[in-house]
């Protein structure tokens, strides 16, 4: 046996790099733009913006714009870290999606978040990060910090049939040995997991300045500029023992000149109420400007249900699961806007 061939990790690394090279060559070879094309007409005057973005992680399907990288793959096939990332000028946007927490991690979180019974699904190793390398500034959205913002006290909210339930138990109590303490809430925490989470500033001394008169430039954001990078993930979710849903979802889209992130807390307690708390982060790359808008929407269940009277679908409640539709129906309770200029 030639001992030189099985020596340590160096060779494996080289092999993996070679495999990556070959894969990248295959991807390039299949990109039609890499092939010489006949020129059919003179170049347009409004030439598209040059490709200035850098796709940072080769472990993904090809980017439609530069054939390098884009949208996160649903599942990594190699044991490589699946953290797609894109850089434009000084800005880098990175996302990571991982499975739900395991028991060991859950126990650790339990201690950290003392008093909160954990939601059913926590994607605790997933995140979305917006960084400005030059100014050493980083804003991250993650589940742990979102849950830290959940109150460990009585939310005052009860499921729709709570009264009926308690009354029937109290009636039973008189005639049986059911202990009085069993009708007391053992541990108070906000079981709706309502969170006013606006992201975590992970590094940098720069801070947002409140300026509620500022608005997001909807005209710019409505333009169908090509999306260079897109991701959509859930940070945590709980179905409230089938009494509705509580979920924090984060979406991000990056265009050549700007990026928009939406972190949405959506709550539906069946027969009781709806809440939509939205945090939008808008970055204009060339101006080095960040806008953070926070909005709270809330209304009771009946009000939202009545808005749906015009529809005659077989399942009238299906629409109540669509957070976009619900958000449009709910009155705005609170709005704040902050600006950060480097």
Partner 1 sequence: MKVDETIALLRQGKQVSEETVYTLCLRSQELLMSEANVTRVDTPVTICGDIHGQLHDLLTLFDKSGGVENNKYVFLGDFVDRGFYSLESFLLLLCYKLRYPDRITMIRGNHETRQITKVYGFYDEIVRKYGNSNVWRYCCEVFDYLSLGAVVDGQVFCVHGGLSPNVTTVNQIRAIERKQEVPHEGAMCDLLWSDPDEVSTWSLSPRGAGFLFGRNEVDQFLHCNGLELIARAHQLVMEGYKEMFGGGLVTVWSAPNYCYRCGNVAAVLRIEDGLSREYMIFEAVQAQDDVGNAIIPTKKPQMDYFL
Classify 313 in phi/psi space as left (phi over 0), alpha (psi -120 to 50) or beta: beta
Q: In the complex, what is the shortest distance from the CB of residue 170 to partner 1, in angstroms, rounded to a whole number?
A: 11
Name the helix (H) or strand (E) containing 131. Answer: strand 127-132
Q: What are residue 276's DSSP bridge partners?
A: 266, 297
Residue span binding partner 1 (CB under 8 A) among the ranges 51-59, 173-181, 301-309, 334-342: 173-181
Residue 72 contacts partner 1 per CB under 8 A? yes
Q: In the complex, what is the shortest distance from the CB of residue 321 to partner 1, in angstroms, rounded to a whole number?
A: 8
Selection from 128, 51, 57, 127 nearest residue 86 by Cα: 57
Give the whole-angstrom CA distance, residue 280 versus residue 209.
15
Q: DSSP of 261-303, one letter per residue?
A: EEEEEEEEETTTEEEEEEEEEEEETTTTEEEEEEEEEEEEHHH
Q: What are residue 300's DSSP bridge partners?
A: 273
- Among 11, 14, 80, 166, the residue binding partner 1 under the rule CB under 8 A is 166
Ranges within 185-244 binding partner 1 (CB under 8 A): 185-189, 191, 216, 218, 221-222, 224, 227, 230-234, 239-243
Residue 158 contacts partner 1 per CB under 8 A? yes
Edge-first strand listing for the sheet containing 200-203: 54-55, 85-88, 91-96, 127-132, 137-142, 200-203
Residue 248 contacts partner 1 per CB under 8 A? no
Q: In the complex, what is the shortest distance from the CB of residue 43 to partner 1, in angstroms, rounded to a whole number?
A: 27
Q: What are residue 55's DSSP bridge partners?
A: 86
Q: In the complex, what is the shortest distance from the CB of residue 49 to partner 1, in angstroms, rounded to a whole number?
A: 17
Q: In the complex, what is the shortest distance from the CB of residue 199 to partner 1, in angstroms, rounded to a whole number?
A: 17
Residue 151 contacts partner 1 per CB under 8 A? no
Residue 257 contacts partner 1 per CB under 8 A? no
Selection from 229, 211, 227, 247 nearest residue 94 by Cα: 229
- Among 178, 215, 332, 333, the residue binding partner 1 under the rule CB under 8 A is 178
Residue span binding partner 1 (CB under 8 A) among the ranges 12-20, 52-60, 128-136, 151-159: 151-159
Site mask for partner 1 (CB under 8 A), range 316-335, x = bound: -xx-----------------
Q: In the complex, what is the shortest distance from the CB of residue 68 to partner 1, in angstroms, rounded to a whole number?
A: 17
Give the whole-angstrom CA distance, residue 308 versus residue 311.
6
Q: What are residue 253's DSSP bridge partners?
A: 230, 260
- Among 154, 287, 300, 322, the residue binding partner 1 under the rule CB under 8 A is 154
Residue 85 contacts partner 1 per CB under 8 A? no
Cα 224 off chain centre by: 22
**Both tokens assigned to 96:** 């990571």
Give the whole-angstrom CA distance, residue 62 versus residue 48.
20
Residue corresponding to tokens 């973005």: 53
89 DSSP assignment = T
Residue 171 contacts partner 1 per CB under 8 A? no
What residues make contact with partner 1 under the rule CB under 8 A?
71-75, 98-103, 106, 117, 120-121, 154-155, 157-159, 161-162, 164-166, 168-169, 172, 176, 178-179, 181-189, 191, 216, 218, 221-222, 224, 227, 230-234, 239-243, 251, 253, 260, 262, 270, 314-315, 317-318
């Amino acid at each position: 046996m030639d001992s030189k061939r099985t020596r340590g990790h160096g060779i494996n690394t080289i092999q993996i790099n070679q495999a990556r090279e070959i894969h990248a060559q295959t991807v390039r070879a299949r990109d039609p733009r890499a092939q010489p094309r006949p020129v059919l007409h003179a170049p347009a005057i409004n030439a598209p913006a040059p490709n200035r973005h850098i796709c940072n992680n080769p472990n993904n399907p090809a980017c439609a714009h530069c054939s390098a990288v884009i949208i996160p793959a649903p599942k990594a096939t190699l044991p490589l870290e699946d953290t797609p990332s894109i850089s434009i000028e000084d800005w880098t946007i990175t996302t990571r999606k991982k499975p739900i927490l395991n028991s060991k991690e859950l126990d650790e979180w339990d201690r950290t978040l003392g008093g909160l019974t954990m939601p059913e699904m926590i994607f605790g190793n997933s995140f979305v990060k917006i960084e400005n390398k030059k100014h050493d500034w980083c804003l991250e959205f993650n589940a742990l910090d979102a849950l830290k913002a959940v109150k460990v006290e009585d939310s005052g909210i009860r499921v729709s049939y709570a009264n009926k339930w308690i009354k029937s138990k109290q009636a039973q109590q008189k005639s049986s040995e059911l202990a009085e303490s069993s009708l007391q809430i053992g541990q108070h925490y906000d079981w709706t997991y309502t969170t006013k989470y606006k992201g975590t500033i992970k590094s940098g001394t720069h801070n947002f300045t409140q300026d509620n008169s500022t608005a997001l430039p909807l005209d710019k954001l409505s333009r169908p500029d090509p999306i260079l990078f897109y991701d959509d993930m859930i940070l945590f979710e709980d179905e409230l023992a089938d009494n509705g849903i509580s979920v924090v979802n984060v979406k991000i889209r990056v265009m050549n000149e700007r990026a928009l992130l939406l972190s949405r807390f959506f709550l539906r307690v069946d027969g009781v109420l709806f809440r939509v708390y939205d945090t939008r982060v808008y970055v204009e790359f060339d101006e080095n400007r960040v806008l953070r808008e926070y909005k709270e929407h809330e209304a009771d269940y009946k009000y939202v249900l009545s808005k749906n009277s015009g529809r005659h679908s077989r399942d009238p409640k299906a629409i109540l699961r669509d957070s976009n539709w619900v958000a449009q129906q709910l009155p705005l309770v609170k709005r704040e806007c902050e600006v950060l200029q480097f």
